């Protein structure tokens, strides 16, 4: 078959490697900025303070109120600090929650963002912001949201707890798997997705065995960059729709939900995307859904939705919401088949594909 595609490379600057956190000041200056507001969650406040000390006069303050799902009232509070301090850029130190706050500020102000990721979520390389207000999560995509500079220093992930490393890694892998069969995929997104999956397939078992293995941590962060870039480049399908439904309407934990659902959504789409998923299936022993489930089990990932407090009765409503305004998906969906898929994921059954 001949190829037909359109491709736009992301304009973000990626700085990768051990010790690169030491380059934050340099990148603030290179961005033409002088007053950086350092952002973090309350749990990572001490790290944000240390980073602010490290960048000295270039830091104008710290806001450590970032939290999951980017609530609009938290962004409002951070905007007051932006105004009070006269910040001309933000430095987001943390996972997807902190990156989300930096993106929300940039969406309102177009201030440059320098992101220093400490998880594998991948948000730092996407122009997508999901924010919550009045009990609803809404997604926006805008060029202003894409961070200008991302500094990936694997040293910062050495202490990421093993359970979070596993679920965060599977969260990133889900971006890659869905990128492989995306309608708007292109040769570069496919290369990045497969390389990202290989990086996690190699590194996550090593991290579980030895959490401070510097090489494995570097490999996993490399995978996070690749998989996140795929998410930022092409459209997502059923897997992301179901995870947004479960997180948005049933408050299930973000990365853990991705981890449980990925083998099931991959198996669901396996026959409709045989050639698109063939190379990925190879990485996991020949079958994409069953292979991913075996991989997840071997690294100690959560396997059942029921562990998140979801009741069996919730599955009917989740299936109805998931088929409302569906995302494009390689296999057509209907409520009965999604309900069956959710039942398997709820029980923690190994999917067959
Ligand atoms: P998170 O940022 O919520 O982090 C979870 C907790 O772990 C926080 O308390 C955080 O401070 C802590 N933590 C982070 N790094 C740590 C480290 N190295 N050591 C110890 N503790 C650490 O979790 P996440 O999974 O990275 O992000 C989830 C959020 O990101 C969700 O809101 C999700 O919607 C969003 N997200 C957005 C995109 C996008 O493109 N818009 C992509 C992926 C995720």
Q: Name the fold adopted by 13-157.
A: Rossmann fold (3.40.50)
Q: How far apart are CA 332 and CA 338, in angstroms?
A: 10
Q: List, for residues 275-313, the tens digit of each pLDDT value.
A: 999 999 999 999 999 999 999 999 999 999 999 999 999
Residues in the chain: 353
Instruction: Supply the residue whose CA is at minimum distance from atom 39 of ligand 1.
Output: 123
Instruction: Supply the residue whose CA is at minimum distance from atom 32 of ligand 1.
Output: 69
Q: How far apart are CA 90 and CA 67, in angstroms?
A: 16
CATH number of 162-347: 1.20.1090.10
Cα–ligand 1 centroid distance for 50 (angstroms): 20
Cα–ligand 1 centroid distance for 163 (angstroms): 13
Average pLDDT over residues 68-80: 96
Nearest atom in ligand 1 to 129's CA: 41
Nearest atom in ligand 1 to 139's CA: 41
Pocket-testing residue among 46, 70, 96, 147, ligand 1, by greatest number of atoms within 8 A of Cβ: 96
Q: List, for residues 236-282, the tens digit of each pLDDT value.
A: 999 999 999 999 889 999 999 999 999 999 999 999 999 999 999 99
Backbone φ/ψ region at 215: left (φ over 0), alpha (ψ -120 to 50), beta: alpha
Cα–ligand 1 centroid distance for 273 (angstroms): 30
Q: What percent of the chain has pLDDT over 90?
A: 91
Break the chain into its structural domains and give their ranges: 13-157, 162-347
Q: Which residue has the tokens 């993106």?
A: 103
Which residues does ligand 1 sit against, CB inside 6 Å? 41, 43-44, 68-69, 94-98, 100, 118-119, 121-123, 126, 128-130, 156-157, 159-160, 168, 231, 254-255
Q: List, for residues 188-242, the tens digit of each pLDDT value.
A: 999 999 999 999 999 999 999 999 999 999 999 999 999 999 999 999 999 999 9
Instruction: Supply the residue whose CA is at minimum distance from atom 42 of ligand 1.
Output: 123
Judged on CB neighbours under 10 Å (0-12, 13-18, 19+), 243 is buried
Q: List, for residues 143-162, the tens digit of each pLDDT value.
A: 999 999 999 999 999 999 99
């Amino acid at each position: 078959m001949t190829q037909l595609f359109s491709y736009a490379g992301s304009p973000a600057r990626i700085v990768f490697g051990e010790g690169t956190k030491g380059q934050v000041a340099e990148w603030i200056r290179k961005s033409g900025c002088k007053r950086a507001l350092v952002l973090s969650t309350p749990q990572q406040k001490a790290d944000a303070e240390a980073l602010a000390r490290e960048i000295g006069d270039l830091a104008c303050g710290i806001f450590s109120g970032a939290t999951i799902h980017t609530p609009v009232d938290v962004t409002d509070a951070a905007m007051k600090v932006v105004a009070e301090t006269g910040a001309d850029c933000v430095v987001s130190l943390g996972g997807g929650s902190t990156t989300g706050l930096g993106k929300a500020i940039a969406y309102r102000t177009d201030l440059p963002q320098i992101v220093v990721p400490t998880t594998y979520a991948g948000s730092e390389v996407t122009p997508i912001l999901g924010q919550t207000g009045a009990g609803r999560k809404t997604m926006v995509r805008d060029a202003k949201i894409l961070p200008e500079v991302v500094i990936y220093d694997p040293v910062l992930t050495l202490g990421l707890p093993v359970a979070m490393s596993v679920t965060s890694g599977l969260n990133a892998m889900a971006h890659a798997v869905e990128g492989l069969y995306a309608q708007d995929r292109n040769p570069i997104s496919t290369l990045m997705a497969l390389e990202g999956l290989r990086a996690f397939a190699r590194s996550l078992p090593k991290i579980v065995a030895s959490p401070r293995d510097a090489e494995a941590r570097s490999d996993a962060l490399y995978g996070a960059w690749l998989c996140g870039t795929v998410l930022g480049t092409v459209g997502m399908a059923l897997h992301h729709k179901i995870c947004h439904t479960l997180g948005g309407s049933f408050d299930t934990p973000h990365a853990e939900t991705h981890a449980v659902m990925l083998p099931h959504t991959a198996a669901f789409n396996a026959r409709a995307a045989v050639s698109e998923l063939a190379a990925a299936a190879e990485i996991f022993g020949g079958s994409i859904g069953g292979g991913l489930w075996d991989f997840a089990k071997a690294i100690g990932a959560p396997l059942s939705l029921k562990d998140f407090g979801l009741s069996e009765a919730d599955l009917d409503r989740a299936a109805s919401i998931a088929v409302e305004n569906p995302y494009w998906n390689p296999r057509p969906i209907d409520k009965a088949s999604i309900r069956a898929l959710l039942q398997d994921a709820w029980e923690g059954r190994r999917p067959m594909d």
